[in-house]
Amino acid sequence: MKLHPKSLFFLLLVCLSFNVLFSQQKFEKEYRIDQTGVPEKAVEIIKDWNFNKKIKWYAEESQDGKTFEAKVCYQKKNISVEFSENGELIDVEKTVKFRDLSEEIQQKIKSSLSERFRKYRIKKIQIQYTGNQKVIYEALFQTKYKEETGINYELIVKGKKEKSYQNFEILINSKGEIEKELLIKSIDFTNLEF
């Protein structure tokens, strides 16, 4: 039987439909939302903090639950304020440049990363403030730090452990020690290549 190329194409199409229908997937979704969809408590905190800038609201859903995030550019720095599903403040992340950090912490971070990687490059760094609303406010707006102010550094690092480079999300504590390391699965960009 001679199979016409077109028939082959449609046969392939039918076979592949099954692949899609029966494949399982992990649930994870991030999307823009209106302020009206955000818990009132979270909106109030953002109003109190008076950034005086446009706030973009996002929701993130996964198996672990739902969180809300307010993103704002304040004093030329990207700030992201994260809230729980019921509007409780979780943390604030401020994107900074590595050289903005104190010399002491820069050295500690460098030495921790050198232990982990043969070669590395910091692609992004965020200071993460945790604690109650008051201490986070003081850390963010008045650069006042108290004993209960939690300070961590969240880094995106392109690093080489053995042969090849990979991207990692790394959480470093205020002493410069690595607390968490997460391999970022490389994005599939076949549709931009071919």
Partner 1 sequence: MKQYISIIFLLFLSLSIFSQSDFNAGLLPKIVLTKELSDKTKWVNSIESRTIIYDEESQFSHSLVDVTTMYSLKTNTNQSLNFGYIVRFKDNDVIHRTFQHYNFVGSLLSAKLGHRFAFEQFYQTQKQTTFRTRYRASLEKPLNGERVDVNEFYLKFGNEYLYAFDEQDLEIRFTPYLGFQATKKDKIEFGLDYRLSNFIENQTENKLWIRTSWYISL
Whichever of 110 and 158 has its CB closer to partner 1, that residue is: 158
Whichever of 8 and 146 has its CB closer to partner 1, that residue is: 8
Q: Which helix (H) or strand (E) holds 135?
A: helix 133-142
Whichever of 26 and 103 has its CB closer to partner 1, that residue is: 26
Measured CA to CA, the distance from residue 158 to residue 32 in angstroms comes to 28
What is the distance between the terminal CA atoms of the chain, rounded to a whole angstrom? 32
Burial class (CB in 10 A: 0-12, 13-18, 19+), 77: middle
Measured CA to CA, the distance from residue 176 to residue 104 in angstroms comes to 9
Distance set, CA 103 to CA 110, 125, 176, 180, 188 (Å): 11, 15, 12, 22, 37
Question: What residue ranges bind partner 1 (CB under 8 A)?
Answer: 5-6, 8-9, 12-13, 16, 19-20, 23, 25-32, 58, 158, 164-167, 186-194
Whichever of 69 and 139 has its CB closer to partner 1, that residue is: 69
In the complex, minimum distance from the CB of residue 178 to partner 1, in angstroms, rounded to a whole number = 20
In the complex, minimum distance from the CB of residue 175 to partner 1, in angstroms, rounded to a whole number = 29
Measured CA to CA, the distance from residue 70 to residue 83 in angstroms comes to 8
In the complex, minimum distance from the CB of residue 69 to partner 1, in angstroms, rounded to a whole number = 10
CA 18, distance to chain mean position in Å, is 34
Whichever of 123 and 146 has its CB closer to partner 1, that residue is: 123
In the complex, minimum distance from the CB of residue 75 to partner 1, in angstroms, rounded to a whole number = 18
In the complex, minimum distance from the CB of residue 68 to partner 1, in angstroms, rounded to a whole number = 13
